[in-house]
Amino acid sequence: MESLAASKWTNSLLYLTLILSTVFLLHSQIATNLLVGHHPLRLKRSPDLPLRFRDDGTFKILQVADMHFGTGMVTRCRDVLPSEFDYCSDLNTTRFVRRMIELEKPDFIAFTGDNIFGSSTTDAAESLLRAFGPAMDSEIPWAAVLGNHDQESTMTREELMSFISLMDYSVSQVNPWADVPANYVELPKRRKIDGFGNYDLQVYGPPGSVLANDSVMHLYFLDSGDREVVQGRRTYGWIKESQLHWLRGVSKRNKVSRMPINPALAFFHIPIPEIPQLYYQKIVGQFQEGVACSLVNPGVLKTFVSMGDVKAVFMGHDHTNDFCGTLNDIWFCYGGGSGYHGYGKPGWPRRVRVISAELGKGEMSWRGVERIRTWKRLDDKGLFTKIDEQVLWELQQSS
């Protein structure tokens, strides 16, 4: 009996050891391989800040509009030539964006919405990691706003912007912080404002120059929403009054500077209702489809005119429009669709926009921003043709 009891005890001990070993092995595997998009969990890699002009007095931005990224290799292209379709996927978008970063060597990358095509993915976080992969791999500072399709998968707009703000080298923000008194000791809170992805980024002068500690240009990012219903009619979203009120305050504070002119550029996804007027005016680029804007006119153009600092606005949404045109002396420019899973036009190459700001040169030092130029690059069979180069704004020197 004692031998039988000892045998049972030994078997139980071995069984318990097996269970504990299995649990330990599983715990070790989970702990060491906790993944977010197949990347080990770790701290965010941050870019060198603040954003700065180069030593040669230039600051270059790459605008990437409407990537419409799905899941990668298995996500097929839309609106390409029959000869291109069989081997075309999201990877074409990735290769194009990566090649543009290598070619143009921007100081900053701006993604202007519909970064992912929510309905084509069951994992928004994974798609975001893949879509923004070229920007993160480049270690260049980048920022994004949302379009009307980003939230159609597994994350809300707030969750999307929060996730984007935590990605490597991203300087995106969920929303601005509320103003608090100097003696405020509690944790800061987000300002109550419509949308997610409203923020202001400052660009400083070249390192070691007299402008090194001065903000010489601002980049305004705004959430233009997705879809809404107005008086029973479905329409696209729009920039709300709470956002414009915040932006007017930011612009007013930015003018408290020793720089005579502190120009700003604005970035958002859905065009404003005045854009169709440009069909009857001189433009640079192509106007190939109707403007898909909101039925509601919130007064964005009027606000920009009253602020006085916004010199150019960069949008997405309408993929086969890639033109620039002026409204009340402010340039409004489409990026043109960059993504192969988004709709396009067969034979019409995907494209990106480049914006270059240039400082004026004094006798002994740099002055403020003197000129803002733009051009586009095409994904045209490896040529990456540069087209439609133009000056958007130039400082008028007093005589």
Answer for the pair 351, 378: CB distance below 8 angstroms, yes or no.
yes
- Residue 57 sits at φ, ψ, to 5 deg, of 80, 20
Distance of CA 211 to the CA centre of its chain: 27
- Among residues 258, 261, 327, 248, which one has the least CA distance to residue 291? 327
At 214, list the tokens: 């001065």
| Look-up of token digits 């000056």 | 391
Answer for the pair 311, 330: CB distance below 8 angstroms, yes or no.
yes
- Residue 225 sits at φ, ψ, to 5 deg, of 80, -170
Per-residue pLDDT of the chain (399 residues; tens, 9 = 90+): 555 455 555 566 566 666 666 655 555 554 444 444 555 667 889 998 899 999 999 999 999 999 999 999 999 999 999 999 998 999 999 999 999 999 999 999 999 999 999 899 999 999 999 999 999 999 999 999 999 999 999 999 999 999 999 999 999 999 987 664 545 555 566 678 999 999 999 999 999 999 999 999 999 999 999 999 999 999 999 999 999 999 999 999 988 766 667 999 999 999 999 999 999 999 999 999 999 999 999 999 999 999 999 999 999 999 999 999 999 999 999 999 999 999 999 999 999 999 999 999 888 789 899 999 999 999 998 899 999 999 999 998 654
Does the reported pTM lie above 0.95?
A: no
> What string of DSSP letters covers 104-118?
H--SEEEEES--B-G
Residue ranges of alpha helices (H) inside 212-332 are: 241-254, 300-307
**How far apart are alpha carbons 226 and 146 in whole angstroms?**
8
- Amino acid (1-letter code) at residue 345: K
